[in-house]
Amino acid sequence: MLVARILGWVMVQIGMPRVIGELGAGVILGPSVFGRVWPEGFDWFLPGSEVQNTAIQVVSFVGVALLLVLAGFETDLGLISKLGRPAMLVALGSMLLPALGGTALGMLLPGGFLGEEASRSTFTMFVAVAVSVSSLAVVAKILSDLGLMRRDFGQITMAVGMTNDVIGWLALGIFSSLAASGGVSAVRIVISIGGLLVFLALALTVGQRMLDFWLRQTKRGSDVLGAAVTTAVVTMLGFGVITQGLGVEAVLGAFVAGVILHRSRFVDSRLEGYLERLTSSFFAPVFFAFAGLKVNLNLLSDSSLLGWTVLLVAVAIVSKFLGSYYGARWAKLSPRAAMALGAGLNARGTLEIVIGTVGLSLGVFNDASFTVIVLVPLVTSIFASIALRVVVWNWRGSDAEVKRLEREEMLKSNLLVRTSRMLLLSRGGPASIAAAQLMHFTWPKEAHVTVLSVAGRQVRFDLTPISNVLYDREVSYRRVRSEKVLKAITNEARLGYGVIGMGVESSEEAGRVVSPLVDEVLKFSPTPVVVVRRPKDSERPIPAAFGKAVVPTSGSRTSRGAVEVAANLSGQLGTRLVLAHVIHRSEAIGARSAVLPLRLSRLRPGQRAEHLSQQVLLKSAAVAKDLSVEPLLVTRTGASTADEILALVRESGADLVIMGASLRRLRDRPFLGHTVEQVLNRCEVTVAIVMMPFEI
């Protein structure tokens, strides 16, 4: 592991994927180098006993299974379904042409390559399948190392790699049966293929619901991440048992486990990062180094064997590249995308090594042919890494792809507006509808909404208007009795929501932010809360779209959240934004600060305040401009920040105010700050308050 990590680090420093160094570690520590330089030390270091070999192989298997779980996390079934035709055509081309090339080579290779139990036909079939398949694990690792997983061609590569793996494992099962018994079991083929299709259907339906239920329960415990890791590993191993029982390799089950974990609404957001660190730091290096240990380059000292090896590797690379390229061009993909697919799908690994191992154990291969077969994934994976890097150099993809990737990157960097689920508390009234409107037009369509309605035993609210607002979004509904509302909200909020939304009417009750329920939710919520307060004039109809929004900003974390909400709303509806920073009059005439940078300390207090105000506004404007929104920047000076904000709302004709607020405790109630509470109490138009959990 140490050598694999060191060589992987070296590869990263020279701009290559880490996997090349990890594979190379196995070659150096295996019979090719270490075993040749110091045979006695090699025998001591890696004893040739079956127990020692199995021990490393177990760790290696866990590594490849975890790699495929992570590949499942990165696989977007929705995007793949949109790219279905290209994926199908690339899969056809990437398998057919290499299979033909492998068949021709299998017929031409000298008899000295055949194992003792091999016939020419079984030997040819094993060579053909070894040449034609790709390795989903290695493909995923290379794409991940190069940051290409979310590219359109990256998702097609993953879909084709999965198809390659499925066909490869099924073909291996059939050919192994043929080699072992001299005939093909039709029953076994039907069980494998039919069983696999049934498994996939059940995993994505019943399995998804069972996983969601279990993850939902684990959210209520104290060790949420630990429970999520246990669930992920148990699902990975359980699915592996099922696929292996169907005659397909267990790692395919691990991949499906990753897909449904990624699709779950209740998966802990930290799980993927934790598994990635665990895998990349230990299990993956062991897996790839173990694959390299299988290679014995000493057998290539025979010039004839070396020549056939070069020919086999050349056929594997060229046929895979051309088959993938022309399949992609047939699907009307760009030449650059077609070359990227041809390069990426050349990566081979786990399956080829298993094919070589099974062929050797069945007597289809001998030591020479086994070395050649195992050498193919090492060379082709290096080729794939280098070629893919060359092909994608300075290539950003189509305009639509660039826009999608930029949006995904922006959502990842956001504090609040992300693809995580939303919880909307509702009593079915106009205020709830206003909150639903704001959240629907702000959060991305991928964000699922759970509507939690609060009612008495005999009361049911009509949620049809809210359903109409959330018309093209995945929505689920839950109902709780009003006497248990706080406990229900608290329990629900622990299930991994990114934000809680509430709509409220204007309240004049003394000592309250808005209402008793809002205050109680703010006390205990571990999640950011967005409260939408209806206009003071309750007769005013809810606008179908907000025309202009005033967004006070101070440069703080909470005001950043408010700017994100406003910018995304504007990007969806075209709402005009006014970003405002209020300079308190005492700041404009205050004393010079000794801790200011020299360039600011030379300015008069008024100039200094103006300069800092511009910096705050420009920083906030950058968030909006990432969404192609051009806000109006306004600086105002006054004795009361709330008065200046309210005056700006009146002067600009805005129909919405969006403010950030940091929750603090004041006696027995949450306190949002004097400015926010004054705006809530006095502003005539709709006010949205973005609140982060209590600061310690």
CATH topology of domain 414-536: Rossmann fold (3.40.50)
Instruction: Using the CB atoms, write b or e for 674-685: b if 16+ within 10 Å.
Output: ebbbbbbbebeb
pLDDT of residue 85: 83
Model pLDDT, residue 461: 65
The pLDDT value given to residue 677: 84
Identity of the amino acid at 42: F
Q: What does the chain come to in residues?
A: 696
Say if residue 587's pLDDT is above 60: no
Taking 70 as the threshold, does the pLDDT of residue 23 lie above it? yes
Q: Which residue has the tokens 């195992």?
A: 374
Residue with tokens 């029953």: 187
- CA–CA distance, 176 with 365 (Å, rounded to integer): 12
What was the pLDDT predicted at 498?
Answer: 86
Q: Which of 363-367, 510-514, 594-598 has the lowest mean pLDDT?
A: 594-598
pLDDT the model gives residue 345: 93
- What would the pLDDT profile of 521-558 be if each residue is shown by its tens digit? 777 777 888 999 888 765 555 556 789 999 999 888 88
Angle, to 10 degrees, between the axis of helix 335-344 and the axis of helix 367-392?
Answer: 150
CB 667 within 8 A of CB 615: no
Which residue, among 372, 369, 390, 389, has the nearest Cα to 19 in the 3D structure?
A: 389
pLDDT value for 471: 84
How far does CA 453 lie from the centroid of its chain?
Answer: 31
Q: Which of 175-184, 204-213, 358-367, 554-563 has the lowest mean pLDDT?
A: 175-184
Which residues is 480 bridged to in the sheet?
454
Mean pLDDT of the region 103-117? 89
DSSP 113: G
Task: Select the highest-mean-pLDDT range: 65-79, 226-240, 571-585, 600-614.
Answer: 226-240
At 312 the pLDDT is 93
Q: What is the pLDDT of residue 600?
A: 44
Q: What is the percent of the chain where pLDDT is above 70?
A: 86
User: Can you tell me which residue has the tokens 């890494």?
Assistant: 385
Report d(CA 578, CA 571) in Å as an integer. 14
Cβ-contact 526, 486 below 8 angstroms: no
pLDDT value at residue 643:
92
* CA nearest neighbour of 68 among 19, 137, 169: 137
Provide the CA 239 distance to its chain's centre, in angstroms.
Answer: 21
The pTM (predicted TM-score) of the whole model is 0.69
Q: Is residue 35 predicted with pLDDT exceeding 80?
A: yes
Question: Tokens in use for 539?
Answer: 């007769």
Q: Which tops the pLDDT comparison, 457 or 243?
A: 243
pLDDT of residue 585: 67
Categorize the per-residue pLDDT at 491 as very low, low, confident or very high, splitting at 50, 70 and 90.
confident
CA distance 482 to 243: 47
Stretch 110-133: mean pLDDT, rounded? 88
pLDDT in tens, 134-168: 887 788 888 888 888 888 888 888 888 877 777 77
Among 427, 434, 340, which Cα is nearest to 390's?
A: 340
Cα–Cα distance, 195 to 188 (Å, whole number): 10
Mean pLDDT for the stretch of residues 384-392: 90
Distance, CA of 291 to CA of 24 (rounded, Å): 9
Which position has the higher pLDDT, 582 or 462?
Answer: 582
Most confident of 290-294, 302-306, 333-337, 466-470: 333-337
Please, which pLDDT band fits residue 598 given cuts at 50, 70 and 90? very low
The answer to whether residue 593 scores a pLDDT higher than 50 is: no
Residue 351 has pLDDT above 80, yes or no: no
Mean pLDDT of the chain: 82
Q: How far apart are CA 122 and CA 364, in angstroms?
A: 7
**430 or 169, greater pLDDT:** 430
In this predicted structure, what is the pLDDT of residue 669? 65
**Quick check: 510 pLDDT over 50?**
no
Which pLDDT tens digit goes with each residue over 306-336? 899 899 999 999 999 999 999 999 988 999 9
Give domain limits for the chain.
2-407, 414-536, 543-689
**Alpha carbons 232 and 72: distance in angstroms, whole number:** 12
d(CA 113, CA 377): 18
Residue 321's pLDDT is 95
| Residue 400: per-residue pLDDT | 80
State which fold the 543-689 domain adopts: Rossmann fold (3.40.50)
Q: How far apart (Å, rounded) are the C-alpha atoms in residues 270 and 273? A: 6
Q: What is the pLDDT of residue 80?
A: 65
pLDDT bucket at 230, cuts 50 / 70 / 90: very high
Average pLDDT over residues 594-616: 61
Partners of 477 in the beta sheet? 451
Return the H-helix or E-strand segment holding 684.
none
- DSSP characters for 23-61? HHHHHHHSTTTHHHH-HHHHHHHS---HHHHHHHHHHHH
> What CA–CA distances, in Å, run from 675 to 115, 554, 643?
83, 12, 9
Determine if residue 506 is left, alpha or beta; phi over 0 gives left, psi from -120 to 50 gives alpha, anything else beta: beta
CA dist 481 → 220, 476, 477, 522, 556 (Å)? 20, 17, 14, 19, 38
Q: How confident is the model at residue 275 (pLDDT cuts 50, 70, 90)?
A: very high
Tell me if 526 sits within 8 A of 499, measured CB to CB.
no
DSSP code of residue 203: I
SS (H, E, C) 563-624: HHHHHHHHHHHCCEEEEEEEEEHHHHHCCCCCCCCHHHHCCCHHHHHHHHHHHHHHHHHHHH
Beta carbons of 466 and 425 less than 8 angstroms apart? no
Between 671 and 126, residue with greater pLDDT: 126
Structure confidence at residue 184 (pLDDT): 55
Residues 417/571, Cβ–Cβ less than 8 Å: no
How many other C-beta atoms are found inside a 10 Å radius of the C-beta of residue 401? 15
Q: What is the pLDDT of residue 458?
A: 55
Element spanning 657, H or E: strand 656-662
pLDDT digits (tens, 9 = 90+) for 409-467: 777 778 888 888 899 988 777 888 889 999 999 998 888 899 988 665 555 667 788 88
Residue 586's pLDDT band (boundaries 50, 70, 90)?
low
> What pLDDT is recorded for position 627?
79
If one compares 662 and 240, the residue with the highest pLDDT of the two is 240
Q: What average pLDDT score do residues 36-46 get?
A: 90
Name the CATH architecture for the domain at 2-407.
Up-down Bundle (1.20)
Query: How far separated are the first and last CA of the chain, in Å rounded?
Result: 42
Position 606 pLDDT exceeds 60: no
In 3D space, the residue among 507, 487, 445 whose CA is nearest the CA of residue 470 turns out to be 445
Angle between the N-to-C axes of helices 250-263 and 152-181, in degrees from 0 to 180, rounded to the nearest 10? 150
% the chain with pLDDT above 90: 25
pLDDT value of residue 320? 95
Q: Left if phi > 0, otherwise alpha if psi is -120 to 50, otherwise beta: which for 563?
A: alpha
Q: Answer yes or no: same fold for 2-407 and 414-536.
A: no
CB 325 within 8 A of CB 94: no
Q: Does pLDDT of 239 surpass 90?
A: yes
Q: How many CB atoms lie within 10 A of CB 356?
A: 24
pLDDT band at residue 208 under the 50/70/90 scheme: very high
DSSP 618-653: HHHHHHHHTTT--PEEEEEEES-HHHHHHHHHHHHT
